[in-house]
Structures are given as C-alpha cells and as structure tokens.
Amino acid sequence: MTIRFDGQVAIITGAGNGLGRAHALLLAERGAKVVVNDLGGARDGSGRSSEAAEDVVTLIEKNGGEAVAHGANVADFDEVQDMVKTAMERWGRIDILVNNAGILRDKTFSKMSLDDFRLVMDVHVMGSVHCTKAVWDIMREQNYGRIVMTTSASGMYGNFGQANYGAAKMAVLGLMNTLVLEGEKNNIKVNALAPAAGTRMTEELMPEELFKLMSPEVVSAGLVTLCAENAPNRQILCAGAGGFASTHLYETSGTYIAPEQLTPEAVLDRGSEIFSREGEKELHGAGEQSLKFVTQAMQHYGIEMPKD
C-alpha cells in the first residue's frame, strides 16, 4: 500500500536543514501541505534567519507541492500559536506534527552551565510541549492526528557530554506515553523517532565516510510511516544508515517483602530477584505497576482480588 497524505497538513519544526528538511520534502512529495518551521539559528540556538525555511518552501513549490515558511521559536508559545494560526487560516486543518527542532550545547556536566542546560530543555522539551499543545484541540476536534516526538539514543542510553540533551530526549518520551493515553479516543497517535543521521548537529562527531552513509533521507523514510493513517501508536522507531529497530521499556517481575521482614538490608539481599530479567514485561500505564505491587501484597495475605 502506498502511503499518501493528499489533503493533509503537516507542521515540521526545525525543517530548514538536516532531518527536518528531509522530512518536509518527503511529506510534501507524498501530497502533504507543509508548514516549514525553522528559527534559522546556529546549531547552538544562536542567531535567527528565515532563509533556510524559505529555500525549502521554494523547492517544495518547484516540485508542485504547497508549503509555507514560518520562523517561530518553538520555545516561545506565542510564536508557536501564530504558526498554527497561519496554517489554519491557509488550509483549515492540521493532521501531522513532527517535533524535530533541536539545538546542542555539549559539555561535560561539571563544565556545563545551568543556562546551557535550561536552553536545551526549553527547545527540545518545552518546544515539543508548545507545538503539541497548540495543535492538540484541533486534532481532537478533527478526531484525527499524528504526532511524532524526536528522541535520541543519547537519552535512552546516555552519551558523554550530553547530560542536557539526554535529559531532554528522555523527557519527550514521558510526554509521548501520556499523550498516547489521552489522545487514543480521538484517533490521535503519538510516536517517537530516534534518528542517527549525518547532519550539521553531528558532522563533527563522525568520519566523512560514515557521515555519507547516515543521510537524513534514510531516516525520513521511517518518519513517514509514523505519520501515516495506519501508523502504530506509542512506538519508538530507531533509524539510521538503512537500519531500523524499536526500543521498549520493560519492568522486571520483582519480588514482595513482607512488612515484618522489610528493612533496607532485606531489599539489598533480595537484589537478585528484584533485578532478574526473567519474566520482565512492557507496561502500558502507571496503574499497571501499582496493580502488580498490590497483587503481590494481596497474594501474601491471601486476599482475593475483587471481581469487578
């Protein structure tokens, strides 16, 4: 089945360069009307220019598509609201939001200023919050929406010198997990993309040959699947250099310690049971963890689970 977006409107943040540019071009190629958002700053977030976004719009229009540029700073909710207003006035709906905008302020944690930490969090986390909040009710009223967060292996697994970036990239997964639950009844699907691509954000971190293998276009092929009508929900799609995988968070079965035995030492002594991965499972809501612990306690005391 061919994935098309005819009649749909997509907002892609940070779409003037790199991954965002590739996302915008591919969605437009497949029929989407695109809001090309880009502040036009340097990779550390400094500066501002509309040139990159305008260039992407020109290319989309040259290829027969429809697009509009908007230079909203995603860390500023008023500017984000203006961007959404522009899209609604022009096309009357918003079907897809790709939260891609990001900056880097890499330093070891000991040398990192709190200002650098806050700025990265503001762009990646609050930027995703602002853009999602601005389109959320529109998508609810439409009973349709596809939202993609951009996470990273740096957040899921850690990366030296990226405490701020890693924290931000894990935070958007927490946002995704709750939005999935709240958006499900209105056919709003929320997923995350974990890209590994050669962009201006990473060009100094890898050899030239590897940089060429990791083109943004390869990642965008995966991004499109998360925006499709039959997209999955609550998935973390990892993509890079032609490789695709999925990351999941699991919880061990754990163990129960009776109150009369419960001491810090007992917890430490039972570590082999607590940390054993045998029988681990993926949970789909915070309540499932609480239910597991309560069930273990009830079994200890011989209490039957109430029926409905």
Q: Please give the Cα distance from 104 to 82 (Å, whole number).
A: 25
The H-or-E segment that residue 155 falls in is helix 153-156
Q: 286: which 2 tokens?
A: 């915070």
Q: 181: which 2 tokens?
A: 């639950």
Paired strand residues for 193: 150, 237
Q: 158: which 2 tokens?
A: 């850690």
Q: Please give the Cα distance from 145 to 136 (Å, whole number).
A: 8
Strand ranges (E), 182-257 = 188-195, 236-240, 243-247, 250-251
Rounded to the nearest 5°, which phi and psi values hold at 88? -70, -40
- Residue 80 · residue 64 · CB < 8 Å: no
Q: Please give the Cα distance from 278 to 271 (Å, whole number).
A: 13
The H-or-E segment that residue 143 falls in is none
Instruction: Please spell the DSSP secondary structure of 280-291, one letter per residue.
Output: -EE-SSHHHHHH
What single letter denotes the amino acid at residue 181?
L
Active-site position among 144, 157, 165, 250:
165
Task: Verify whether residue 165 is a known catalytic residue.
Answer: yes
- Residue 202 · residue 145 · CB < 8 Å: no
Q: Which residues are catalytic?
A: 165
